[in-house]
Amino acid sequence: MLCTLAVRQFAIIEQLEVALGPGLNVVTGETGAGKSILVHALQLVLGGRARPDAVRTGAEEAEIEALFSLDDEPDARARLAAHGLPSDGEVVIRRVLSANGRTRAFVNGRLTTLAQLTSLASGLVDLSSQHEHHTLADATTHLGWLDAFARHEPLVEAARAGWEAAAEADRLRREFGTALAARAEREELVRFQLAEIDRIAPQPGEEAQMRADIERLRHAGALADTTGSVESLLQSGESAIGPQLARAVSELRGAARRDPRLATVADQVESAHRELEDAAHELGRYAAGITLDPEQLERTEARLHALSRLSRRFGGDLDAVLAQRAALSAELALFDDADATVARSERATRAATEVALAAARQLSASRSEAALALGAAITGELHSLAMGGARVEVALLPLTGGEALAAAGVSLGPLGMDRAEFLIAPNPGEDPRPLRRVASGGELSRSLLAIKRVLAGLGPVGTYVFDEVDTGVGGAVADVIGRKLAEVGRHHQVICITHQPQIAAWGTHQFQVAKGVAEGRTVSSIRRLSAPERIDELARMLAGEVVTEAARRAAAELLGRQLGTGSPVHQ
């Protein structure tokens, strides 16, 4: 919902700020006062094209700022989060226009590109005027509106799930088919690489073990000398430490018989003697077992070289080689079963496609019925809006392009087999044509109002803006338009610029735009009207320049009649 719109140095607006509310917000004022300038300002905030001459004469830049509440806008909150923009349930969009033609855009204080702004602002406001219209005139949204009208959520989800399963099965089928086509050349390579690895037959951790063995074999002589010398020092030499420790233990045991406090020390020395004796025996065995073997060293170095070359060939280390071997073995097994695999994938694709087609056909049949009902409902609304000769058709067309999945001569997509477009024939005898090609601003605005009235409460748009909706209609039709705008306002915020008192009287809130002269410059202002002020404004709209008491009574009666129908006026 649009909470606040602030405009500075834009066209004839020097500075103004307006706080809008829920329900139907009507904007009134004399012709040329600047009502449509507010719509233009809002267009710019939403990413519209800027013109340098829109900057107020004498100013260096214009600025438009809009505050939106996102309490009921989960899609908008998700888009902000996706762009890394902070949000506490609100978004502030600011557009700055320089007199030299440059523009800047900010979202929640962060500088953003125009493309990002357009994406982020998408769905916040749907604007209907002669040359500017957004969501409902975009044919890519029409299928979603039709499904929302028909409550197709379960059928759409079934069609989506069927299409995803069929698309995945088809992807695997194509991959297997491609692999089979390149089978001979690829299989030869896989078998060659497996043979290369298996010829060397590496084992996990073998490289580290080989390096340790080489280090030992290269220094076998020095290791034998060192271990033999230390063993002699500990146990077998003339002055070995071991026998001396044995004598020390014996003497301490004798002393401990005289003083038991020495028993602990005797135990410690005896323990040390046993450990030293064990170490000496281990060194003796090591020294006796080591031999100088240049041939073994040569064989081990050759093995390590082969392992290193294999590691470089297949990824950098032995673990990568072993992983590659597992992958090659699995691929070879797939080649061995390629024909059966392709046959299974083709059967799976056919089965999944049949399921997807069945779900899509069921959805399409329901859409066909719903399209007739939706077209009739919108046509009925148009008849009450002084477009009695108009008719709307919801065309259901075959899906083309995009992510279509070709199956049995039918294109399927995530939303089934259809696309939709709202078509309108404004006058009898005319062929229906797309909404975007409706030439008259009033006809377009009323057409979109009729659609929004039928679809009220179904769409994601938070705010609807209507300009020129009352073009070419009289009082009775204007009253109907006002009532329908108020009905849409029960589900969405609506902003309507109008010259018709019958429409203005339906407003939940009414704002008056006025034009004046200050210091020789034309300025535009806007203010929210109280209930008595609304009567005065409605009387002016009814009577023109000279407002009579009769006009005021008529305005009060008009406003009171709308109040009596449950359209409250907030003070």
d(CA 145, CA 460): 10
- pLDDT tens, 454-470? 876 666 567 888 887 77
Same domain, 193 and 332: yes
Q: Is the pLDDT of residue 567 over 60?
A: no
H or E segment to which residue 193 belongs: helix 183-200
Stretch 19-30: mean pLDDT: 91
- Which of 336, 352, 387 delimits the end of a domain? 336
234-238, 305-309, 539-543: which range is least confident on average?
234-238
The answer to the question of residue 161 being in a domain is no
Stretch 126-154: mean pLDDT: 76
Find the CATH number of the domain harbouring 2.
3.40.50.300
Is residue 142 a contact partner of residue 424, using CB atoms and an 8 Å limit?
Answer: no
**What percent of the chain clears pLDDT 70, i.e. is strictly above it?**
92
- pLDDT tens, 35-50? 888 888 888 888 888 7
**Which residue type is seen at 418?**
D
- pLDDT tens, 67-97? 998 887 777 777 777 777 766 788 899 999 9
- Residue tagged 């280390």 (tokens): 317
What pLDDT is stored for residue 94 in this prediction?
A: 94
Same domain, 316 and 192: yes
pLDDT band at 566 (very low <50, low <70, confident <90, very high): very low
Same domain, 204 and 315: yes
Q: Structural domain of residue 518, as residue ranges?
A: 1-130+440-571
Mean pLDDT of the chain: 83
Structural domains in the chain (count): 2
The answer to the question of residue 27 being in a domain is yes
- Which of 336, 357, 390 delimits the end of a domain? 336
Same domain, 461 and 536: yes
- Which of 268, 303, 336 delimits the end of a domain? 336
d(CA 18, CA 227): 95
The answer to the question of residue 68 being in a domain is yes
Max Cα separation, the chain?
138
Same domain, 104 and 223: no
Stretch 197-216: mean pLDDT: 81
d(CA 480, CA 506): 10
d(CA 317, CA 309): 10
Same domain, 215 and 310: yes
Stretch 345-353: mean pLDDT: 89
Give, in order, the Cα–Cα distances in Å from 384 to each of 83, 358, 381, 452. 44, 40, 5, 14
Q: Is the pLDDT of residue 293 over 80?
A: no
Cβ neighbour number for residue 254 with a 10 Å cutoff: 11
Is residue 399 a contact partner of residue 416, using CB atoms and an 8 Å limit?
Answer: yes
What pLDDT is stored for residue 146 in this prediction?
A: 92
- The residue with greater pLDDT, 476 or 356, is 356
What pLDDT is stored for residue 438 in this prediction?
A: 67
The answer to the question of residue 387 being in a domain is no
d(CA 325, CA 327): 5
Instruction: Give the DSSP letter of residue 89.
Output: S
Same domain, 203 and 330: yes
d(CA 571, CA 569): 6
What pLDDT is stored for residue 131 in this prediction?
A: 43
Is residue 300 a contact partner of residue 210, using CB atoms and an 8 Å limit?
Answer: yes
The answer to the question of residue 61 being in a domain is yes
Strands 433-434 and 418-425: antiparallel
d(CA 554, CA 557): 5
Same domain, 124 and 4: yes
- The residue with greater pLDDT, 312 or 407, is 312
Same domain, 90 and 193: no
d(CA 141, CA 123): 11
Alpha helices in 384-461 (DSSP H): 441-454
Buried b (16+ CB within 10 A) or exposed e, 190-227: beebbeebeeeebeeeebeebeebbeebeebeebbeeb
What pLDDT is stored for residue 490 in this prediction?
A: 86
- Bridge partner list, 25: 495, 509
The answer to the question of residue 343 being in a domain is no
- The residue with greater pLDDT, 21 or 441, is 21
**What percent of the chain clears pLDDT 90, i.e. is strictly above it?**
20
Give, in order, the Cα–Cα distances in Å from 471 to each of 379, 386, 426, 441, 484. 19, 11, 15, 8, 16
Same domain, 198 and 310: yes
The answer to the question of residue 164 being in a domain is no
Label each residue of 312-323 as H, E or C.
Answer: HHCCCCHHHHHH
**Which residue type is seen at 35?**
K
Same domain, 222 and 304: yes
The answer to the question of residue 213 being in a domain is yes
pLDDT band at 5 (very low <50, low <70, confident <90, very high): very high
Same domain, 116 and 240: no
Cβ neighbour number for residue 530 with a 10 Å cutoff: 13
pTM: 0.59
* The token pair that represents 86 in the structure block: 């902070």
Phi and psi dihedrals of 87, rounded to 5?
A: -155, 130
Q: Is the pLDDT of residue 214 over 60?
A: yes
pLDDT band at 442 (very low <50, low <70, confident <90, very high): low
Stretch 537-558: mean pLDDT: 86
What pLDDT is stored for residue 370 in this prediction?
A: 94
- Residue tagged 């002084």 (tokens): 386
